[in-house]
Amino acid sequence: MLKGFRDFILRGNVVDLAVAVILGAAFNAIVTSFVKDVLTQLIAAVVGKPDFKDVVFKLNGTPIYIGNFLNAAISFVIVASVVYFAIVLPLNTLMARLKKPAPDAPSSIKTCPECLSEIPLAAKRCAHCAQPVA
């Protein structure tokens, strides 16, 4: 029972996934700080608020925090674009270079020399003109 658990934990997929989650969390902190401390400050300068998280829309006296939503949306777009352009696109390019072309499958048909119709390789006579085929 413990041997099976050990084999499961030490599989490459589980270890790779654990490393990816840890690095993703660290990267998320960097992106969140970049969005909160740099980008939203630039946008806030245009909007006129001292802090982008303070952009609030009130509906019947209830605050709707547009700024917090925009922070999260900008963070998502940054993370998604970095993942795509730094991981997915280069990996797809590398895999396309490494992928060998598939060998051509042997043909299962031949052409009748008399009527030029396609017939099976094993045929001794053409099905269309009844001529013997070598």
In the chain, where the domains are located: 2-98, 106-134
Q: What is the largest CA-CA distance in the chain?
A: 92
User: What is the structure's pLDDT at 49?
Assistant: 63
pTM of the predicted structure, to 2 decimals: 0.51
- If pLDDT is split at 50, 70 and 90, which confidence band does 132 have? confident
User: What is the structure's pLDDT at 54?
Assistant: 73
Buried/exposed 94-117: b ≥16 CB within 10 Å, e otherwise: eeeeeeeeeeeeeeeeeebeeeee
CATH of domain 2-98: 1.10.1200.120
pLDDT surpassing 80 at residue 81: yes
- If pLDDT is split at 50, 70 and 90, which confidence band does 52 have? low
Summarize pLDDT for 57-78 with one digit per residue, the tens: 889 999 888 888 887 888 788 8
What mean pLDDT is predicted for residues 117-121? 87
